[in-house]
Structure 1
Amino acid sequence: MAAAVLLGPARRTALLTALCFTVTCAIGLQGWTSVSLGGFDLGIFDQGVRGYAHFGLPVSTLKSFHHEFPPGFSLLGDHFSPVLALLAPLYWIWDDPRSLIIGQSLLFAAGVPLIRRIAGYAFAGAEPRTARRAADLAGLVYGLGWPLLVAARVGFHEVAFAVPLTLLMLERGLARRYGTVLLAALLLCCTKEDLGLLVGAYGLVLLLRTRRTDDRAGRRTGLGLLLGGPVASAAAITWLIPAMGGEPGYYWNYGSLGTDGGDALRNLLHDPFLLVQAAFDQPLKPLLLLWLFGTMLLLPLRSATVLCAVPLLAERILSSNPNHWSIARHYDSLLWPVLLTAAIEVLGRLSATGRPERSLRRARRLGLGAAGIALVAAVPIGLVPLVLPSSWAPKPSEAALVRAAALIPDGASVEADNQIAPRLTARTDVVLVDGTPRGREYVLTRGDKRSFPFKTDKEQAERIQLLLAHGYRQLWAEDGVVLLHREGDEPVPGEHVPGPGSKPVQDEVPTDVGHNLFRG
């Protein structure tokens, strides 16, 4: 009896959920311990959620100063993500950036029961033993899949909510619980402005699946999502983000199609081939598609659910921003629930009782093959570094940043290196050291190792000399790290603080980005 309880479905779900949480949280905390998580993006979200925790707007000086947004700008003017306010209670318990790492891991882990239920629906026509094994394998592959491990490795992002909410929408749709589908869709639209397009695509999926059934509620829900999702995205991009201080068209990275959405649509109607040109103008773009679908043995392509991935994939494939083309960032975690659900649905159909034995064997091979690839890919990305002591220790330069940061008093105004910024957000008024001097009391930077957003370490060394020549004194230096203190009111050439008329700017992507599928 004890063995039966130990191996029961609830216990297996709990164990797989705990495994997902433990691994993703450990990867995130490893990044913190090794000082590899930067102000972009962990520090930005820490400042924003801390604003919510104090019942204010999600203001981030790291974001607004660096990108020259005017005073009063909040993160809602960058991406429409009010759902992040739900994390504010974590800061009432522990006012620390690591609360976000823990919160993200909890949200990722919440997807394990959902993906197991999805497998249960998909394999309802299979033998009970096959269905049980499929649910277990689905939970394991989801929780240790490389997209979640990559997202954990880069710190924190809105994907923390997008992943379980997407799974909730898909799972409740299979259960025909359309009220919860609508709730999940609404929360997705409040997670990031472009996720309304995913919601709209799922509406199309529901319409396709209910068109020849008596499921009128499903058709009504599908139609509502198909229309409401894109409208929500358009409203957020056109009105809500600018109303919060955002710059219209700030994230338009599709110049090869047109100057804006309307211009792109007109150009595509005139010459549809522009779409193909934009999608394959860089070698990394088809490689990304090959990786995403090839590693899953093309299984998702046989399910209508894969349509939900089309808008998000199109955003990346058509983009001119090289950061969107690799798998080394958080973007694939947005696709992970969709692709995995689609693959499970296909395998469930192939495994149904009554199908030829050849089909059943093929389904087993495909399922084990796709699962094996996902888990093998996770080994070098996140699992091996967890057991290497050297991966937990900061390098000399990063360790020096931590020691220097301890010398800065609470409440000081600081310009800080990207890697140390998250450790100063809770107790100082910190902005990023970038191409423009900001005139702050303290400047903590490096002169011999390139840090975002500088293009070369030479630029950083020149900045140090400029500050020393105009009113700053060196307080501390070690392993290339320098801590400077402003001694007077002498202006620094080029010194600037964003004002009411500031025009937001984007970063110039370094020339070494966009050439390797596995590097950011």
Structure 2
Amino acid sequence: MTTFTLRPPVRADEAVPAGRQRERIRVAAVAVACAVVCLLIGLQRFRQLQLGGFDLGLFDQAIRAYSHFELPRSLIKSVHHGFPPEFSLLGDHFSPILALAAPFYWLWDDPRTLLLVQSLLFGAGVPVVARLVRRECGSALGPRALSRLTLAFCLVYGFGAALFYASRAGFHEVAFAVPLFLLLFERARARAYGHTVAVALLLCLTKEDLGLSVGIFGAVLALRARRAGDRRGVRTGGVLLVLGPLASLAAIVLFVPWMGGDAQFYWQYSDLGTSAGEALVHVVLHPLDTLRAALTPSAKAVLLLWTFGSLLFLPLRSALTLCALPLLAERLFSDNGNHWQALHHYGAFVWPILIAASIETTGKIARKWERRRAERAAKGAAVFAATITLFGLLISGSWHIVLPSHWQRDAHQEAALTAVRKIPDAATVEADNNLAPRLTRRARVMILDLIPRNADWVLLDTTKKAFPFPDAQSQKDRLLLLRDSGYVITYESRGIVLLRRPTPAVPVPGSVEQGRGDLPGYDTADVRVFG
């Protein structure tokens, strides 16, 4: 790690470099392009019935409840994990910031609203990246080279595979974390410390673990400010160092249980122990075993190489990268194989941290080099940006948005939508995971899982494995069980089956009502790194 330094911000009254207006137009264009591409990725997946009740459907239920000034309850989440009917999604992950998406539902009451919100938030990070580049590199480069470098980093951020993978996964609270992390670093770099604390508070309200990253950043800021003789910076850093971990502790120990959740529900680190205390002791007493757990199986090592290698390992020369350590540790030590892969939304949490760290490292290098050499390097950065942008599009499969064939639905998908339309409004439904978001707007939806729920309607797909079933045969077995229990098939086509509960109704053998503590545990992962 390099030494901690804090350079003065670029003064607002300095002369505006030539071509600055053109640069602003380019940055705005990249921001719009980032938002549009991310939105199209999500819309294409939605159209192709590839976004599920986990997670798009459950967030749709919760944020729609917010839009009605209710607690964010999700029938999908509470039923699948055996929580009582009054369970709030705040008892799952403490993310009250999601309420900020509720007003969009007053304009368009549809699950796709969340895809739009997420894409706008991702795009909003682009101008913040541009400001970071100017603050870090403005004193070391001429106007033209600085403009090139700014555009290069905007492209690397806005078209990074991490954002595309998150868009393919649907919607998640990471949508808010991405621009907020960037804004946290930019406001601190500008010494706008009141704004810095406000942004840090918003991050703590985004997800319960982000307070740990806020605390680490507070330590980094305090040390840097102390070296620079900036007392306000030292005080602000100290506040964040205390505020962040306390916010995480309060969310996990107090607020999550208060909202009907379990503070230990997401503890899945058996290699380290059964609690955070045991894990800390294990890390201190058994460092080699801890390192082994972090790097095996090999998918974890590949994930680390991709995470840092895709940015030429530039983040490793910046102390800002320390802020990513809690988020990376959560993935590397997890028992859940989904966390070891790049093809979900998890990488988007660390993406803005690594981008800001890369910008900081670039600024340090540029200030050490002779200006002409630094400006030549800025040209090379543009080539690198184009390469990483193209690679991000290819590796994430996002280039499919330009293929008309990938926007068309096949006969199987059309049959599924026909079955969806046959379900009456306000009905109680157990639905195939990928069909659940098509019903959450107008019905009481649970996903079809390993436990029968005695719903009035059941919609399933017998042609392919669907979350959380282990295989397609298990879904066929469920169909036989339902028919033996008196359920009547009202529609069947191309493996899509819609059944209605008989009258008088009798419980399905093995069924469990909501709130009986039928926690199914964590679903196994088909471990792949990139898809």
TM over 0.5: yes
Once the two structures are overlaid, the 10-residue window that deviates more, 224-233 or 111-120, is: 224-233
CA distance in 1, matches of 2:34, 2:477: 45
Q: Can you list the C-alpha shifts for 1:173-217, whole angstroms capped at 9, x where unaligned? A: 110101111111100000000000111121122123222112111
Asked if structure 2 preserves the Cα contact closer than 8 Å seen for 1:252 and 1:260, the reply is yes
* Structure 2 equivalent of residue 23 of structure 1: 37
Letter in 2 for 1:339: L
CA distance in 1, matches of 2:277, 2:126: 40
- The alpha carbon displacement at 1:277 in A equals 2.3
CA distance in 1, matches of 2:230, 2:409: 57
- The alpha carbon displacement at 1:270 in A equals 3.0
Question: Do structure 1's residue 210 and structure 2's residue 225 form an aligned pair?
Answer: yes
Question: Do structure 1's residue 292 and structure 2's residue 323 form an aligned pair?
Answer: no
- Which 5+ residue runs of structure 2 have no aligned equivalent? 1-17
- The alpha carbon displacement at 1:145 in A equals 1.2
Q: TM-score, normalised by structure 1?
A: 0.95
SS in 2 for 1:338: helix
Q: Can you list the C-alpha shifts for 1:120-173, whole angstroms capped at 9, x where unaligned? A: 111112111111111112222211111111111111000110001111101101
- The alpha carbon displacement at 1:506 in A equals 2.3
CA distance in 1, matches of 2:518, 2:464: 30
CA distance in 2, matches of 1:149, 1:281: 26
SS in 2 for 1:110: helix
CA distance in 2, matches of 1:72, 1:284: 39
Question: Do structure 1's residue 111 and structure 2's residue 125 form an aligned pair?
Answer: yes
- The alpha carbon displacement at 1:374 in A equals 4.3
Asked if structure 1 preserves the Cα contact closer than 8 Å seen for 2:152 and 2:381, the reply is no
SS in 2 for 1:495: coil
- The alpha carbon displacement at 1:318 in A equals 1.3
Q: Can you list the C-alpha shifts for 1:275-331, whole angstroms capped at 9, x where unaligned? A: 212112211111111111112111111111111111111111111110000100001
CA distance in 1, matches of 2:181, 2:427: 41
Question: Do structure 1's residue 168 and structure 2's residue 168 form an aligned pair?
Answer: no
Structure 1 residues 359 and 10: CA distance shift in structure 2, 3 A: closer
Question: Do structure 1's residue 517 and structure 2's residue 529 form an aligned pair?
Answer: yes
Asked if structure 1 preserves the Cα contact closer than 8 Å seen for 2:219 and 2:237, the reply is yes
From 234, 237, 240, the counterpart of 1:219: 234
Letter in 2 for 1:495: S
Asked if structure 2 preserves the Cα contact closer than 8 Å seen for 1:120 and 1:135, the reply is yes
SS in 2 for 1:10: helix
Question: Do structure 1's residue 498 and structure 2's residue 498 form an aligned pair?
Answer: no
Question: Do structure 1's residue 140 and structure 2's residue 152 form an aligned pair?
Answer: no
Question: Do structure 1's residue 403 and structure 2's residue 418 form an aligned pair?
Answer: yes
- Which 5+ residue runs of structure 1 have no aligned equivalent? none
* Structure 1 equivalent of residue 272 of structure 2: 257
SS in 2 for 1:155: coil
SS in 1 for 2:227: coil
Letter in 2 for 1:459: S
* Structure 1 equivalent of residue 402 of structure 2: 387
Asked if structure 2 preserves the Cα contact closer than 8 Å seen for 1:297 and 1:370, the reply is no
Q: Can you list the C-alpha shifts for 1:8-34, whole angstroms capped at 9, x where unaligned? A: 233223212211111111111111111
* Structure 2 equivalent of residue 417 of structure 1: 432
CA distance in 2, matches of 1:116, 1:307: 22
The 5 Å alignment of 1:370-385 reads: 372-385=387-400
The 5 Å alignment of 1:423-434 reads: 423-434=438-449
* Structure 2 equivalent of residue 468 of structure 1: 483
Asked if structure 2 preserves the Cα contact closer than 8 Å seen for 1:73 and 1:244, the reply is yes
Asked if structure 2 preserves the Cα contact closer than 8 Å seen for 1:202 and 1:225, the reply is yes
SS in 1 for 2:367: coil
* Structure 1 equivalent of residue 13 of structure 2: none
Q: Can you list the C-alpha shifts for 1:418-452, whole angstroms capped at 9, x where unaligned? A: 11100100101110111111111110001121111
Once the two structures are overlaid, the 10-residue window that deviates more, 463-472 or 14-23, is: 14-23
Q: Can you list the C-alpha shifts for 1:67-97, whole angstroms capped at 9, x where unaligned? A: 1112211100000000000111011111110
CA distance in 1, matches of 2:122, 2:114: 12
* Structure 1 equivalent of residue 5 of structure 2: none
Question: Do structure 1's residue 128 and structure 2's residue 143 form an aligned pair?
Answer: yes
Structure 1 residues 353 and 286: CA distance shift in structure 2, 3 A: closer
CA distance in 2, matches of 1:275, 1:140: 36
* Structure 2 equivalent of residue 52 of structure 1: 66
SS in 1 for 2:519: coil
Letter in 1 for 2:529: L
- Over the matched positions of the two proteins, sequence identity in percent amounts to 47
Asked if structure 2 preserves the Cα contact closer than 8 Å seen for 1:115 and 1:138, the reply is yes
Structure 1 residues 108 and 128: CA distance shift in structure 2, 3 A: same
From 446, 465, 474, the counterpart of 1:459: 474
Letter in 2 for 1:277: R
- The alpha carbon displacement at 1:379 in A equals 3.1
* Structure 1 equivalent of residue 79 of structure 2: 65
Structure 1 residues 201 and 112: CA distance shift in structure 2, 3 A: same
RMSD (Å) for aligned C-alpha atoms: 1.8
From 341, 347, 370, the counterpart of 1:326: 341
Q: TM-score, normalised by structure 2?
A: 0.93
CA distance in 1, matches of 2:378, 2:102: 44
CA distance in 2, matches of 1:337, 1:168: 9
Once the two structures are overlaid, the 10-residue window that deviates more, 78-87 or 296-305, is: 296-305
CA distance in 1, matches of 2:375, 2:216: 31
